Amino acid sequence: MFQPLDPLLHSELRLAIMSLLISADEAEFPYIKEQTGATAGNLSVQVDKLSAAGYIEVEKTFKGKRPCTICRVTDDGRKAFEAYVKALSSYLKVK
């Protein structure tokens, strides 16, 4: 039986963000932007959606005088990602 896929994680960019954060625990906004190839505006919108869902937390700070945005995966985000991978694998099983 197929398990439902989390529509929030089924977006290509949001899934890429979560994949990066799962492996790194945290990353700065420019690194995520570089790795995903997203525009700053689109990435910002998707980060906000993940943050609103409680999947990531966003810390806005400064490095010297420059703003620095750090994204971290939360426990809920890690659980949601693991559930998504499990659900996706249910579609890939051949019986």
Query: Is the pLDDT confidence value at 94 over 70?
Result: no
Helix, strand, or coil (residue 70): strand
pLDDT in tens, 78-87: 999 999 999 9
Cβ-based neighbours of 18, under 8 Å, separated by 6 or more:
9, 50, 55, 56, 73, 77, 81
Domains, the chain, with CATH or none: 12-89 (1.10.10.10)
For the chain, list the strands marked E by DSSP: 26-28, 56-63, 66-73
Q: Average pLDDT in the 6-20 region?
A: 96
pTM over 0.85: yes
